[in-house]
Structure 1
Amino acid sequence: MTAPTTLDLFSGACGGWSLGMERAGFRTLAACELDPWRRRVYGANFPHAKLYDDVAGLSAARLLADLGQLPDVVVASPPCQDVSAANVRGRGLDGDRSGIGFEHVLRLAAECRPRWLCLENSPRLRTRGADRVLAGLEQIGYAPTPVVVGAWHAGLLHRRQRCWILAFTDTPRAGAAGWGSSGRWLQLAQANAGSGHPSDADEVRDPGRGRRAERGEEARRQPAQSLRLASHQGRGRGGGGPDQLFPQDPPWVDAGEKLGRSLRVLDGVSDWLARACCSAFGDAVVPQISYAIGRSILRTEAELAAADELRLAA
């Protein structure tokens, strides 16, 4: 059975959206990234995905011409420079970079009509334009749900609070065979159930989690609010406190800064490469969270499919 497809907008170099969604059972159809260096790195990680450079030149007609189909799910991390708390003069969606980025996401969603649209950005979006994003999604027929979830909720060492918006539409686009077909999603859910995926209770675990469980208890005090991460609420990193997250540094030292310092002390690593790697780290989406989102989408669709079958049988 064909896996549902995704389009990854503003993918960055690391491809955290694509990695998590593919691990959940999706297939990356295409990705778009303007920066040439990031695009090359992403292409090396996801050679099967069609790559585009400028979101302004991307359209549903172009995707159909190039790929013969439109994505089932669009994931996107629009530029956050005008939204981020690091920019004290940031104008939010009135800024050129963030504002135009979100405009193109909404434009493509209106053209492609994916079943799901998933957005990630700075948590400061809550006060710098989230109302406009949510209103825009509703205007084009989507029901959005915003939440704030951080990397530490997935058992990682850095906080990285991010705003996530999951939007759903039950109005299928023309020719979107499969969406709304109860059989497709029921079969997909059954296939994934026996595909070796980690159980729901383990979906954000990773091999290093046990070692990290010895440090801090912030995750215990700040459980995930949504994204089906409820099974992880209360699973803290016992012992110590927030100051223990990086014992050799003050607790406010960002993981990106630590990465940059470690790169610069290596022989032969240029300042440019160190800055590029830190920048790519800052762009990255935590794949454990995108994986949880992907699995939640599949579960939700399976539940809708089962409900449809019950209605048809009644």
Structure 2
Amino acid sequence: MNVLSLFAGIGGMDLGLERAGMTVVGQVEIDPFCRSVLAHHYPEVPRHDDVRTTVPWWESQSRPHVDLVAGGFPCQPVSLAGLGLAQEDERWLWPAMLDVIRAVGPEWVLWENVPGLRTRGLDIVHADLVRLGYRHRVGRIRACEVGAPQARARLLGVAHAPRLGRGTRRPGGPAGEAAHRHDQPPQGLARRTTPTRTSARHWASEPRVDRLVDGLSRELAEHHLRAYGNAIVPGVAEHVGRLIANAHALSGASTPSLAA
């Protein structure tokens, strides 16, 4: 499966999906430091710097067929730790991601965000995807449920549309229209979790020396901390990626449950 990665960051999502057997054929990331990391690990993959202009960039030349558009659009507008402006925040870039989905017409869509999205925009995301003809399911996964030494939870959504032919574009109006015109959003999937051998609380996330990060100088700490903090744990992306890949390989595939 070919993946177009939006809001790619330092490649956490991309690494996980590659481990699930997928191929990254394009990346979009606005942060220069993160792009330098991507260039080091993915030197042959074409990159762009702004999701808002991704459609003309992608259509400017012949590109591989895209099976999956994946991305974690910025969480600050919906984070419980932020101002909670949601769609009023200029960093609310779900409409830009939706524009790419509409133009590229992938069979699959994978997005991730913070749990706060459930009450601050999930209805819009769900309605927009349904309107484009996708079946959409949402799940909440903690990193420790896939073996990572942290308990951070992420909300993930998987959307699937029946195969309509390569490059087929689906109809749809402007992004982010009122959710009440569409199906109600899912209330979340029943979580079937498997406990890890080591509780996340037993792992230290930072060194004890103030303002230092393990293995990094002070000059690099700010860039690294921001990049690491925004990145999805690759194991989470791999888990969901394998579910998608398995469903994709089956005739008449349905949107999979995301439980770890």
Name the CA shift for 1:274/1:111 in 2 (closer, same or farther; >3 Å).
same
Stretches of 4+ moved more than 4 A in 1? 173-176, 259-263, 265-268
Q: 2:4: which partner in 1?
A: 7
Name the CA shift for 1:83/1:156 in 2 (closer, same or farther; >3 Å).
same
* 1:292 aligned to which of 236, 239, 259: 239
1:304 aligns with 2:251: yes
Mapped partners of 2:213, 2:231: distance in 1? 23
**Contact 2:207 2:213 (8 Å CA) reproduced:** no
Following superposition, the deviation at residue 37 of structure 1 comes to 1.1
1:49 aligns with 2:45: yes
Q: 2:212: which partner in 1?
A: 264
* 1:92 aligned to which of 83, 86, 89: 86
Following superposition, the deviation at residue 225 of structure 1 comes to 5.1
Name the structure where helix makes up a greater proportion of residues. Answer: 1
1:111 aligns with 2:106: no
Q: 2:172: which partner in 1?
A: none
Mapped partners of 2:223, 2:99: distance in 1? 30
Matching residue's letter, 1:33:
E
Normalising by structure 1, we get a TM-score of 0.68
Matching residue's letter, 1:159:
A
1:219-257 Cα offsets, whole Å, 9 max, x none, are xxxxx956xxx5xx444436xx77x524xx7xxxxx3xx
**Contact 2:145 2:195 (8 Å CA) reproduced:** no
SS at structure 2 position matched to 1:291: helix
Q: 1:194: which partner in 2?
A: none
**Contact 1:149 1:225 (8 Å CA) reproduced:** no
**Contact 2:48 2:57 (8 Å CA) reproduced:** no
Mapped partners of 2:215, 2:251: distance in 1? 55
Q: 2:180: which partner in 1?
A: none
Following superposition, the deviation at residue 62 of structure 1 comes to 3.3
Mapped partners of 2:190, 2:247: distance in 1? 17
Mapped partners of 2:253, 2:64: distance in 1? 26
Mapped partners of 1:50, 1:121: distance in 2? 24
* 2:197 aligned to which of 216, 222, 237: 237
Q: 2:71: which partner in 1?
A: 76
1:260-297 Cα offsets, whole Å, 9 max, x none, are 95872779813x41111111111111111111122111
* 1:37 aligned to which of 22, 30, 33: 33
Matches within 5 A, 1:156-175: 156-173=148-165, 175=167
**Contact 1:30 1:51 (8 Å CA) reproduced:** yes
Listed as ranges, the gaps of 5+ residues in structure 1 are 177-223, 250-254, 308-314
Listed as ranges, the gaps of 5+ residues in structure 2 are 169-188, 255-260
What number of residue pairs does the alignment pair up? 234
Q: Greater relative contact order (Cα 8 A, min sep 6): structure 1 or 2?
A: 2
Mapped partners of 1:303, 1:267: distance in 2? 44
Matches within 5 A, 1:161-240: 161-173=153-165, 175=167, 233-237=193-197
1:146 aligns with 2:138: yes
Task: Give 1 or 2 for the bigger CA radius of gyration.
Answer: 1
Larger deviation, residues 258-267 vs 107-116:
258-267
Q: RMSD of the alignment, in Å?
A: 2.7
Name the CA shift for 1:63/1:261 in 2 (closer, same or farther; >3 Å).
farther
SS at structure 1 position matched to 2:76: coil
Q: 1:16: which partner in 2?
A: 12
Matching residue's letter, 2:88:
D
1:132-176 Cα offsets, whole Å, 9 max, x none, are 110011111111111111101112221110110100111525556
**Contact 2:105 2:167 (8 Å CA) reproduced:** no
1:273 aligns with 2:213: no
Q: 1:128: which partner in 2?
A: 120
Name the CA shift for 1:263/1:19 in 2 (closer, same or farther; >3 Å).
farther
